[in-house]
């Protein structure tokens, strides 16, 4: 069988390498190109440069598969649709791709006037270019086959995609930087659900793949280690949450953010990471956001019984 190629495009987010990836898949001998993740609107220049290195222009991108609709994964999808690509997304995320107003408004509440420089423009995807596969409904593109796997936990509308021996794990498979046997999980609001995340890990364990490719960042050949680390990190976070909330049920959010960030920094230091590497992990996955997500999960799910 002809070989397909998978190329990691480094989107060089905020001038930092290895923070956000888009994965380019080129069918052997075939036309066109498939991307897993578009990246945000702010990194289009890096995306174009990465494609150019492969002899491609954005107009050659025929299909974009999004793991979920968060800005760092899906922000540039509308722009790629304008260049002619079809965009694939989870059914629950689809309305926000057609009309991103609510998504942009809620991100603006978080990022304020840093919105533009961080994320750039988020254009809507025209309805006739938006494809909404069901869970485990095979996506066939020429001789390429992708299997979307419903994997909530990080977000309700999250797919991991299986392709040949690779699992493109989006954010549900955690965040790692090449060269370090260390993983963190992005527990952002508003949909963080630790119990569902555990279910998603069980689901992925039932599938067969030899490599795993989180969007943050790179293709790794130890998927079992990675899934186990995600589960451990979920358990650790839940313990932190229970302890923090039992000590002070009305803990101010600023204090929780600080305490969680400190805890993560200590953990990184214990693992032998330099300050620079810890900063890189924080850029790909801000710990303050995870504190927000955890506290919201506590109020919405855990204390609701």
What is the binding site for Zn ion (CB under 5 A)?
Answer: 70, 171
Single out the residue of 204, 143, 133 nearest to residue 172, CA to CA: 204
B/e letters for 215-236, b = 16+ CB within 10 Å, e = fewer, are bbbbbbeebeebbebbbebbee
User: Please, what is the Cα angle at 252 between 250 and 258, to 5 degrees?
Assistant: 130
Nearest residue (CB) to Zn ion, 37 versus 171: 171
Q: Which residues pair with 23 in a beta bridge?
A: 8, 36
- Least distance (Å) from Zn ion to the CB of residue 68? 6
Cβ 240 vs Cβ 263: under 8 Å: yes
Q: What is the largest CA-CA distance in the chain?
A: 61
User: Please, what is the Cα angle at 234 between 232 and 238, to 5 degrees?
Assistant: 115
- Least distance (Å) from Zn ion to the CB of residue 227? 18
Nearest residue (CB) to Zn ion, 155 versus 280: 155
- Least distance (Å) from Zn ion to the CB of residue 286? 11
Taking the C-alpha atoms of residue 68 and residue 79, their distance in angstroms, rounded to an integer, is 16
Nearest residue (CB) to Zn ion, 63 versus 73: 73
Strands of the chain, DSSP E = 5-10, 21-26, 33-36, 61-65, 86-88, 130-131, 139-141, 144-150, 159-163, 166-170, 211-214
Nearest residue (CB) to Zn ion, 25 versus 103: 103
- Least distance (Å) from Zn ion to the CB of residue 158? 8
Taking the C-alpha atoms of residue 298 and residue 134, their distance in angstroms, rounded to an integer, is 30
Nearest residue (CB) to Zn ion, 109 versus 208: 109
- Least distance (Å) from Zn ion to the CB of residue 1? 34
- Least distance (Å) from Zn ion to the CB of residue 73? 6
Name the residue with the smallest CB distance to Zn ion. Answer: 70
Cβ 154 vs Cβ 172: under 8 Å: yes
How many CB atoms are located within 10 Å of the residue 31 CB? 9
Nearest residue (CB) to Zn ion, 70 versus 257: 70
Taking the C-alpha atoms of residue 87 and residue 80, their distance in angstroms, rounded to an integer, is 8
- Least distance (Å) from Zn ion to the CB of residue 67? 8
Cβ 132 vs Cβ 90: under 8 Å: yes
- Least distance (Å) from Zn ion to the CB of residue 111? 14
Nearest residue (CB) to Zn ion, 124 versus 189: 189
- Least distance (Å) from Zn ion to the CB of residue 88? 16
Strand (E) or helix (H) holding 47: helix 44-53
Nearest residue (CB) to Zn ion, 27 versus 122: 122
Task: Specify the 3-state DSSP secondary structure of 159.
Answer: strand
Nearest residue (CB) to Zn ion, 133 versus 186: 186
């Amino acid at each position: 069988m002809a070989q397909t190629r998978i190329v990691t495009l480094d989107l060089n987010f905020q001038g930092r390498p290895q923070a956000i990836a888009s994965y380019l898949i080129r069918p052997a001998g075939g036309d066109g190109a498939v991307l897993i993740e578009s990246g945000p609107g702010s990194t289009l220049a890096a995306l174009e440069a990465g494609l150019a290195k492969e002899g491609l222009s954005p107009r050659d991108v025929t299909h974009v598969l999004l793991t979920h609709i968060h800005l760092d994964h899906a922000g540039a999808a509308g722009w790629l649709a304008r260049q002619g690509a079809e965009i694939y997304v989870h059914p629950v995320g689809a309305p926000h791709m057609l009309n991103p107003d609510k998504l942009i408004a809620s991100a603006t509440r978080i990022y304020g006037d840093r919105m533009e420089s961080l994320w750039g423009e988020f254009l809507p995807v025209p309805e006739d270019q938006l494809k909404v596969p069901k869970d485990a409904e095979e996506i066939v593109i020429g001789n390429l086959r992708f299997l979307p796997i419903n994997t909530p936990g990080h977000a309700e509308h999250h797919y991991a995609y299986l392709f040949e021996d690779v699992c493109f794990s989006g954010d549900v498979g955690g965040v790692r930087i090449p060269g370090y046997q260390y993983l963190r999980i992005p527990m952002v609001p508003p949909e963080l659900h630790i119990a569902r995340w555990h279910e998603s890990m069980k689901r992925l364990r039932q599938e067969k793949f030899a490599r795993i490719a989180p969007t943050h960042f790179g293709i790794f050949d130890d998927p079992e280690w990675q899934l186990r680390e995600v589960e451990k990190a979920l358990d650790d976070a839940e313990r932190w949450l229970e302890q923090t909330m039992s000590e002070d049920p009305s803990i101010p959010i600023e204090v929780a953010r600080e305490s969680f960030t400190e805890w993560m920094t200590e953990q990184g230091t214990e693992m032998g990471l330099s300050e620079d590497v810890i900063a890189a992990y924080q850029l790909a996955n801000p710990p303050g956001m995870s504190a927000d997500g955890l506290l919201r999960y506590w109020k919405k799910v855990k204390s609701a019984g």
